[in-house]
Structure 1
């Protein structure tokens, strides 16, 4: 049997799902600093996957990226509700990105 090494953060049920498929799984529970590091690695991994996703995988990759963002927030003491509230607040105050505006320059007026 071939043993493949990953050393990456996975979703909570992943070890059980693999065991259910008859695979031997080794894993560990990370401490706070290890978890922070692996969350950032996972975020970067998910960004790359999102950027290369075809139309058929786009929604799934957005959901994975969002799940990692929520995990980062929770790890830093911020709830999903707080993230969602702040997102709406910033959208109300500053707008979203739907108008596709690209800022080119700002020139300060001299007094």
Structure 2
């Protein structure tokens, strides 16, 4: 299982200088709770407290950060992905960002 956790360790290393708590969420959180990998994962969901979200720009400066504007009709996975400028507070309903490595078009 140790090799399977390598992506989680990479995320934790990237967030090491966040200076705020972060949490694994989604499918990986379930697998960590179960103590085994139950399926292939295509992304890693993490959460931070809303009060700490502006710290992500500094902690993830090697990544391109984009915010997801939810679809106005609430359709899942139909939001608009746009750049998230430094200092731009995320106000509801916006609550999600994606972090992209410089050489990727998919979230890290």
TM range (shorter): under 0.3
**Higher strand proportion (structure 1 or 2):** 2
Identify the structure with bigger relative contact order (alpha carbons < 8 Å, sequence gap 6+): 2
TM-score normalised per structure 2: 0.28
TM-score normalised per structure 1: 0.27
Structure (1 or 2) with the larger CA radius of gyration = 1
